[in-house]
Amino acid sequence: MSNAVLEADNVFYSYSRKGVKVLNGMCIDVPKGKKTALLGCNGAGKSTLFSVLNALYEPDDGKVLYNDKPLTYKHKDIIKMRTDVSILFQNPNDMIFKPYVEQDVAFGPENLKLSKEEVEARVSEALFTVGMEKYRKFPIMKLSYGQRKRVTLAGVLAMRPSVLIMDEPTAGLDPQMAYEVMEIAEQLNASGVTVIMSSHDTDLTYSWSDEIRVLHGGQCMYSGVPEPFYSDHKKVQTAGLIRPSVFMMNKALHDLGRCELEPYPKTQTQLSVKISDCRDRNFGTLHILVAEIDTDIAKSLEDAGLTGVHSGIYGLSARLAADATGYQPNYRYNGPENCTMKCLSGEDAVLVCDSRMVDLAKSSADFINNNGYGKIDVKTI
């Protein structure tokens, strides 16, 4: 019994009879409950693999396994799988079928033949999650690219998938919008959704994912945690990729004799800590305020005596709570990293956070504490 929710077992696929085999003996798995990044140069077969895993294309040879059972490609079974596995295509314009936002988000649930009330509930939930509730009645063609992307994401979330496949989710988005999409993906994963995404943003995939799968020439050439792959420069080059900057800088520090290679820092904050060597300093305290949608953030901070302290927000309920009361934090983006850095420079910081994201919020602070780079007090309110 493997822990893979989707698996391709020796799959072969080509688009036309005599054509090049885009998938050429592909053996790959999507680990359940994890954040996986699919890497590979253009033409390596990423989009094709997604289509095969989602039963859009039937392999010429080999099997696709869903929850350890081979796909039968019978109509009923495929429908069942598609209620559970959703793909977010790269170009949102490819996924829009209705003129108005709420109609398009409802497309999927309606196709599931759910009741009107259920459809309505799901549409509201999905639009809230992506922050597009205000645009419910808008015509989609009047929205910007980033807004359309969020609408299509809502459309996919309305299916309540347990596996979310994202094809280049941040492509074409400005930095803030890209960050918000990735935060939504993290939120989903924290709620138990398996997320697999393909992206050309090497640094993003390195800091975000638990594991990577690297495709080359229609096969999976590497599967596992990123570091062993990136340590082999020949493999990286053959795969058509480059190495993440945080990884390279960590290596540079190690070569300078400043530190050990491990633990591998995944974010700049973790790398900054390794560069700085500040064990003996006094760090500030990281306060974590767990927020629900109806929390009055300003009041809660006042009650805890943390009004003047630098604050960040992280996670869906925190954002919604902040928007509801008009609360302006210091760090709307990269809340956990910025707050941790504030603590490192000796000041206190408070991170207003969704209840499901607390562990993620603490991850950089844990990195510092657990590896002896210093001690940041973490207090939950």
4 lines the binding site for other proteins (CB under 8 A): no
The long-range contacts involving 327-331, CB below 8 angstroms and separated by at least 24 positions, are 327/297, 327/298
Asked if 250 interacts with other proteins (CB under 8 A), we say no
From the centroid of its chain, how far is CA 327?
Answer: 26
Residue type present at position 244: P
Q: Which residues are bridge partners to 288 per DSSP?
A: 351, 380
DSSP assignment, residue 15? S
For other proteins, the closer of residues 19 and 308 by Cβ is: 19
Please report whether residue 19 would count as binding other proteins according to CB under 8 A.
Answer: yes
Stretch that binds other proteins, among 85-93, 285-293, 301-309, 362-370 (CB under 8 A): 85-93
Please tell me the distance from the alpha carbon of residue 78 to that of residue 84, in angstroms, as a whole number: 10
Stretch that binds other proteins, among 38-46, 65-73, 127-135, 301-309 (CB under 8 A): 38-46
The residue within the footprint of other proteins, chosen from 258, 299, 375, 379 (CB under 8 A), is 258
Does residue 275 belong to the site contacting other proteins (CB under 8 A)? yes
Q: How far is the CB of 58 from other proteins (least distance, A)?
A: 12
Q: Is 72 in the site for other proteins (CB under 8 A)?
A: no
Candidates 27-35, 170-178, 314-322, 349-357; binding stretch for other proteins (CB under 8 A): 170-178
Distance from C-alpha of 320 to C-alpha of 105, rounded to nearest angstrom = 20
Between CA 36 and CA 166 the distance in angstroms is 10
Question: Which two structure tokens, joined as six digits, stand for 117?
Answer: 């009330």
Q: Does 5 bind other proteins (CB under 8 A)?
A: no
Going by C-alpha positions, the residue among 141, 196, 153 that lies closest to residue 177 is 153
Side chain identity at 317, as an amino acid letter? S
Give the tokens for residue 166: 């994202």
- 36 is an interface residue for other proteins by CB under 8 A: no
Least distance to other proteins, CB of residue 353, Å: 19
- Minimum gap (Å) between residue 284 Cβ and other proteins: 12
Q: Which of residues 308-337 bind other proteins (CB under 8 A)?
A: 332-334
* 51 lines the binding site for other proteins (CB under 8 A): yes
Interface with other proteins includes 146 (CB under 8 A)? Answer: yes
Among 97, 191, 224, 380, binds other proteins (CB under 8 A): 97
176 in contact with other proteins (CB under 8 A): yes
- On whether the CB atoms of residues 186 and 267 are closer than 8 A, the answer is no
Type and span of the H or E element at 25: strand 21-31
Instruction: Determine how many CB atoms are found less than 10 A away from the CB of residue 241.
Output: 21
Residues 98-137 close enough to bind other proteins by CB under 8 A: 98, 107-108, 111-113
